[in-house]
Amino acid sequence: MDMYRIGVIGCGGIANAHAKAYAELGLEITAASDIDQFRLKEFSKLYNVKNTYTDYEEMLRKEKLDIVSVCTWPPLHCKITESAAEKGVRGVICEKPMAMNLAEADRMIMACRKTGAKLVIGHMRRFLKIYSEAKNLLDSGVIGEPELIHGASVGDLLSDGTHLIDSIRFINSDEAVNWVFGQIDAREKRKRYGHYVEDASIGYVEFENGLRAFIETSQISPGGPKPGEVGFSRESLFNDLDRVNRIKWWKKKVPYCAIQIYGSNGVIQVDERGNPPLKYRGKNEKDWKAGSITQESDPFRLQVEALIESMEKDVEHPCSGEQGRKTLEVIMAIYESARRREIIPLPLEVDENPLLEMIERRIL
């Protein structure tokens, strides 16, 4: 594989997945940047990065990079992506969620279009075999006509629901969305990764092909902590979320991006933490059939490989900025539906973040 000058901005946990993906492809990281000097030092030592910076602008200006991984918290995604494109970077892999609102997403897309840079949003589940096989099973008609998709995940919409929504869109062949209806609970005014998030959400989505999807995310999810287990009542479910968080749900077998696809003649179930992670059965069948997946490849490596192909052949990446924007639009539409208390047709007319607006105006 040709050599590329690669930079990583933000050296926290997710940056390790990017670094390992580059290493698997025999690509070295040229430079890294983080405002935390200790974290920067540890990252550069682990991955043998010789050039380190606490100012990413200086790094972009000096290093003449080909590819940049943006692994910072979401409020910085837009500014860093714009700067990378302006400095001549050919490919940007920006972690999810794409941005804090649609206005930022549009700025990112336009900045990359202007310079010809390829923009990738880190919805790497599009490269997991369980999702592609689920899509193939659906397309094959094994469960008849699709009627409803149900998706559930622990967490919040921007941090975790973005994977859930993007995976549902992928399984449904990226069909356009007609409308969105949703509701949220955000009384805790919690922050994750530098921005406000809701405590729980539900969304109901209709696609142009008529298929509908019901989506739910919550700190309290099926299979996770239940009222009474962490010392709170059903009447004050979200008053003790700090105690729920201390249970460390991510170490338990709670659903993360669990998806059921119901058809006229059966059901397909995807559950990354399930055994098996993909199974299906007919309408009148008692026993499940396991999917044919044997072993997954590293989706982060496949994401990088697809970026290089996109750069060299000028083809669209499966996780392009345009696809990332469409997923973000559904999230913003759920927030907007909660604000206006009505069905929201797409394309969405607002470009700010309705959740942030509601919190800042003390509507929630």
Across the chain, mean pLDDT equals 91
- pLDDT for res 6: 99
Superfamily of domain 126-297+328-355 in the CATH hierarchy: Dihydrodipicolinate Reductase; domain 2 (3.30.360.10)
Q: Which residues of 111-120 are buried (b: 16+ CB within 10 A; e: fewer)?
A: bbeeeebbbb
- Token pair in block for residue 180: 């969105």
Angle of helix 77-86 versus helix 102-115 axis, rounded to 10? 10
Cα 28 from chain centroid (whole Å):
26
pLDDT of residue 64: 97
Q: What is the pLDDT of residues 73-123, one digit of tens each?
A: 999 999 999 999 999 999 999 999 999 999 999 999 999 999 999 999 999
15 compared with 285, residue with greater pLDDT? 15
Beta strands in the chain (DSSP E): 6-9, 29-33, 51-53, 67-70, 91-94, 118-121, 146-154, 177-185, 190-192, 195-197, 200-207, 212-218, 258-263, 266-270, 278-282, 289-290, 344-345
pTM of the model: 0.92
What does the buried/exposed string (b/e) look like for 189-201 if buried means 16 or more CB atoms within 10 Å of the residue's CB? ebeeeebbbbbbb
CATH code linked to domain 6-125+299-319: 3.40.50.720
- Please tell me the distance from the alpha carbon of residue 126 to that of residue 43, in angstroms, as a whole number: 27
Using pLDDT thresholds of 50, 70 and 90, give the confidence band for residue 284: confident
Paired strand residues for 7: 31, 68
- 330: pLDDT strictly greater than 60: yes
Q: Where are the domains of the chain?
A: 6-125+299-319, 126-297+328-355
pLDDT band for position 226 (50/70/90)? very low
The 3-state DSSP class for residue 71 equals coil
pLDDT (tens digit, 9 = 90+) per residue, 145-172? Answer: 999 999 998 889 999 999 999 999 999 9
Specify the residue for token string 């105690």: 243
pLDDT value of residue 228: 38
Residue 51, burial from CB neighbour count under 10 angstroms (0-12, 13-18, 19+) = middle
What pLDDT, on a 0 to 100 scale, did the predictor assign at position 294? Answer: 72
